[in-house]
Structure 1
Amino acid sequence: MEKETLYRYVACQASPEEEMAVLTWLEADPVHESELAKVQRQHDLVALSAPVINELYAKDRRRRFGSVLRRWSAAAAAVVLLAFGGYYFHAARDFSRQGERLLSVSVPHGQRVSLTLQDGTSVWLNAGTTLRYPALFTGRERRVEIDGEARFEVVHDAKHPFIVRTYACDVEVLGTKFNVVAEEENGLFSTALFEGRVAVSSRLVPGERLVLEPDEVVTLEGKHLCLAQIDNDEEYLWTNGIISLTDQSFSELMHRFEKTFGVTIRIEREPSIRIGQGKIRQSVGIDNALQVLQRFADFEYEKDEQNNTITIR
């Protein structure tokens, strides 16, 4: 397979004929999967040029929440939004009922990734997230699966609804912007809607279904869905490296810090903390982030550089 064709494929710029040729080539020999992954990594390194990152960072300082979402939609048209290393890309050798080849992207802690699906839908993946999706949408529905946190800007197609499958719920949309958290290990699920309309159908309680309007969020309380208004827009600015401190418990913040900074945090004693409003950037680093929290809570911490672990006392 010509390298130019593979580069166009990973950049989502290949023609339908080229996409089919690449998929056929992948299936012909398992070795080809590692070759494609190598091209993917090369493409990512090019996409991560410092001038582009600095330009996005500078622009962000002058924009509010709504304009941030619009800018990322335009700037992240290829594969990577912001990642400080490689992410795990795997072309799974299994097929859905429609015969779609499934691909998988897993994002390590401390990183963030963006990619564009075959239909033009933009997806932002937070640290510790895995996305499974078909290389080509060929059935009546456009189905993807996530474990972790992701933001979607779905291309409208009334004849082919877009469905995000999680351990707890299925989120169905026609064309919209929304954020999904689905962490089965921690029993967390939420869907926040920014634009458009989505329907959330529970997989834990058959028949339970909620339809969201913009600025609404649905969460999982026990096994049941709970609808509320979004009261903290900053919580969804993680795509821009912003961590919201507003109304978060200490354990919730440590969970976010673990994913964002790629460390393991052990809490021997949990201090009381409740910050009315505030946020920090991922770029400040874990030490500065913890020192900010020490202004609001009484605790000490110890770092184990060798094991990449922090102990809170």
Structure 2
Amino acid sequence: MNLQQAKHLAHKVLANEANPEEKAALQQYIQDNALLPGLEEQLFPLQELMSAPDSALPAGMEERILTPLTGGNAPAIPARRPVLRQLLRISAAAAVVLIVCLGAYRLLHTDRTPETTLQTLVTPNGSQGNITLADGTQIRLNGGTTLRYPSSFTGKTREIYLDGEAFFEVSEDSSHPFIIHAPAFTTTVLGTSFNIKSAAGQQLSEVAVATGKVRVAATVAGTADSVAYLTPGEVVYYHPNDPAGIHKGSIAFNMIGAWKDRRFHYDQTPLHSILHDMESAYGLHFRVVNPAVLSCTFSATFNNMTATEILQTLALMSQVKFQIKDSLTEVSGQSCN
């Protein structure tokens, strides 16, 4: 999500027109960009609200904002008392910023773990990581992955943040849904095992379920078909440039989280996705000489092979060439189109 999209969502929240997924997406954007100077002012232009004439403020906005703050008893705003209205406008506008930034439930209708309580676990490329959360949930992290999680879970939900790829075995607790926020998806489960692959800047994201049932919602506002329910053996894919939204399909059980054993299955998969897997699993660094080769697609299965063996096989299957130069692997060749 970019700033313009976030501004659009902020406007919908204030107008009481945002759905739960849009509110969650806005909250995630605010948390991910908490250090961006002037973010609150850009999303909620206080000067506009404070300097606008009385009639310019949307009807009922003061009451809608003040009601959550007063427990449902918003004060009446006399039409002939501009000073009081101005003070209320300033207070209301400031309250909006405070409520959104702190993730207040009543305005955004979502419980969030305070940013200051989150621990961070990072697995570098070429390695894997394991962690057991406070509720007993076990997570296996692929290389190049960042996980943010609380030391203990409080409130009505169990929420964590993922950037990269991980396999989850979630402890069952029907009264406290487990929610994973990732760049492309928000995934909600009660107790199940599944794999999520979603990294910032990554072109293709996916969620695949091994056991149980999960709810997956695309976090990009306006995405068509943005919610899907998955059962064992099902997978959803998302590409940011695909206006159709997320696509649902099937997947072999033995390929869900297969990266843990360095097994990879590709079916007409573009080279850029394969290289990303090689970076995460083997710690390789690539320099692409001809970007056109990244669109080349491959169908192959690699079972516990070395990185060199995989690259050699890809080269034999196409016009793509790989050459190791110092710490970089140079990718060159001709387009496959």
TM-score of the aligned structures, taking structure 2 as reference length: 0.58
* Residue of structure 2 in register with 1:301 after alignment: 322
Determine the C-alpha separation between the residues in 1 that align with 2:142 and 2:119.
17
Note the C-alpha offset of 1:138.
1.6
161-170 or 290-299: which moved more? 290-299
Q: Indicate the percent of aligned positions where both proteins have the same amino acid.
A: 28
For 1:99-130, what per-residue CA distance to the aligned partner results, in whole angstroms no more than 9, with x for missing partners? 97211111111111111111111101111110
Partner-residue secondary structure (3-state), 1:291 = helix
Aligned equivalent of 2:302, options 270, 279, 292:
279
* Residue of structure 1 in register with 2:132 after alignment: 116
1:292 equivalent to 2:313? Answer: yes
Partner-residue secondary structure (3-state), 1:114 = strand
**Native 8 Å contact 1:100 1:136 kept in 2:** no
Aligned equivalent of 1:152, options 168, 175, 191:
168
Amino acid at match of 1:109: N
* Residue of structure 2 in register with 1:255 after alignment: 276
Q: 1:193 to 1:297 in 2, by over 3 A?
A: same
Between structure 1 and structure 2, the one with the greater Rg is 2
Determine the C-alpha separation between the residues in 2 that align with 1:208 and 1:249.
23
1:202 equivalent to 2:194? Answer: no
Determine the C-alpha separation between the residues in 2 that align with 1:123 and 1:310.
33
Q: Any stretches of 5+ residues in structure 1 without a counterpart?
A: 1-93
1:267 equivalent to 2:288? Answer: yes
Q: 1:214 to 1:277 in 2, by over 3 A?
A: same
Amino acid at match of 1:295: L
1:213 equivalent to 2:231? Answer: yes
Amino acid at match of 2:328: N
Determine the C-alpha separation between the residues in 1 that align with 2:287 and 2:115.
44
Determine the C-alpha separation between the residues in 1 that align with 2:315 and 2:303.
14
Alignment RMSD, CA only? 2.8
Determine the C-alpha separation between the residues in 2 that align with 1:99 and 1:251.
33
Determine the C-alpha separation between the residues in 2 that align with 1:180 and 1:170.
10
Q: Any stretches of 5+ residues in structure 2 without a counterpart?
A: 1-101, 104-111
**Native 8 Å contact 1:272 1:297 kept in 2:** no
**Native 8 Å contact 1:158 1:174 kept in 2:** yes
For 1:63-92, what per-residue CA distance to the aligned partner results, in whole angstroms no more than 9, with x for missing partners? xxxxxxxxxxxxxxxxxxxxxxxxxxxxxx
Amino acid at match of 1:141: T
Q: 1:97 to 1:278 in 2, by over 3 A?
A: closer
**Native 8 Å contact 2:130 2:138 kept in 1:** yes
**Native 8 Å contact 2:322 2:329 kept in 1:** no
Note the C-alpha offset of 1:197.
0.6
For 1:230-272, what per-residue CA distance to the aligned partner results, in whole angstroms no more than 9, with x for missing partners? 2584363001122334433333222221222212212334288
Determine the C-alpha separation between the residues in 2 that align with 1:226 and 1:311.
30
TM-score of the aligned structures, taking structure 1 as reference length: 0.62
